[in-house]
Structure 1
Amino acid sequence: MSYQTGPSPLSHSAHPLDYWLSTELSAITPTSARSRLREIAHARGSYMGAWAAGIGIGAVLVLLGALLAIQLGTFAPVPSLSLPGAAIALLCCVFYVRVRDRLPRTSRTIVNRGPGSLRGALSFAGFILIVFIGLFALTAKPTAWEDPTLVQTLVSVLAFLVCLLVAAIIVPATIMGRSRESLRSKAANDPRFRALLEKDLATWRDPFGDAGYGPL
Structure 2
Amino acid sequence: MTSPIPYDARPVHPLEYWLSPDLARVSPPNAPSRLRQLADAQGTLAAGWSSAIAGGPVLALAGAFYSATSGNPAAFAVLGPLGAALTALGLSFWKRVRATLPNTDKALITRGPGSARGGIVMVSVLAVILGGILSTFLPAAASRGDGTALVLAGTFLLIVALLVACILVPSVVLGRARQSFRQRVQVNPELRRAVEQDLAVWHDPYGTAGYGPL
TM-score (norm 2): 0.89
Q: Distance in 2 between matches of 1:181 and 1:96?
A: 17
Checking the alignment, whether the CA contact within 8 Å between 1:125 and 1:169 is kept in structure 2 is yes
Identity %, equivalent residues: 39
Q: Which residue in 2 is equivalent to 1:17?
A: 15
SS in 2 for 1:15: coil
The alignment covers a number of residue pairs equal to: 207
Q: Which residue in 1 is equivalent to 2:70?
A: 72
| Mean Cα deviation higher: 87-96 or 21-30 | 87-96
Q: Distance in 2 between matches of 1:178 and 1:168?
A: 16
Q: Which of residues 135, 140, 155 is equivalent to 2:137?
A: 140
Amino acid at match of 1:212: G
CA RMSD in angstroms comes to 2.1
Q: Which of residues 101, 119, 122 is equivalent to 2:120?
A: 122
Checking the alignment, whether the CA contact within 8 Å between 2:134 and 2:152 is kept in structure 1 is no
Q: Distance in 2 between matches of 1:89 and 1:125?
A: 21
> Once the 2 structures are TM-superposed, how far is the Cα of residue 146 of structure 1 from its aligned partner?
5.5
Q: Distance in 1 between matches of 2:28 and 2:137?
A: 51
Amino acid at match of 1:37: L
Alignment of 1:179 onto 2:177: yes
Amino acid at match of 2:40: H
After TM superposition, the structure 1 = structure 2 runs for residues 3-152 of structure 1, keeping only pairs within 5 Å, are: 13-137=11-135, 139-140=136-137, 149-152=147-150
Q: Distance in 2 between matches of 1:155 and 1:95?
A: 34
Structure with more contact order per residue of length (Cα contacts < 8 Å, sep ≥ 6): 1
SS in 2 for 1:14: coil
Checking the alignment, whether the CA contact within 8 Å between 1:40 and 1:103 is kept in structure 2 is yes
Give deviations 1:133-172, integer Å, cap 9, x for gaps: 22234x3375655566343223201210121011101111
SS in 1 for 2:192: helix
Q: Which runs of 5+ in 1 are unaligned?
A: 1-8
Alignment of 1:209 onto 2:207: yes
Amino acid at match of 2:130: F
Q: Which runs of 5+ in 2 are unaligned?
A: 1-6
Q: Distance in 2 between matches of 1:201 and 1:55?
A: 32
Q: Which residue in 2 is equivalent to 1:159?
A: 157
SS in 1 for 2:194: helix
Alignment of 1:170 onto 2:174: no
> Once the 2 structures are TM-superposed, how far is the Cα of residue 62 of structure 1 from its aligned partner?
1.5
Q: Distance in 2 between matches of 1:31 and 1:11?
A: 27
Checking the alignment, whether the CA contact within 8 Å between 1:12 and 1:213 is kept in structure 2 is no
> Once the 2 structures are TM-superposed, how far is the Cα of residue 173 of structure 1 from its aligned partner?
0.5
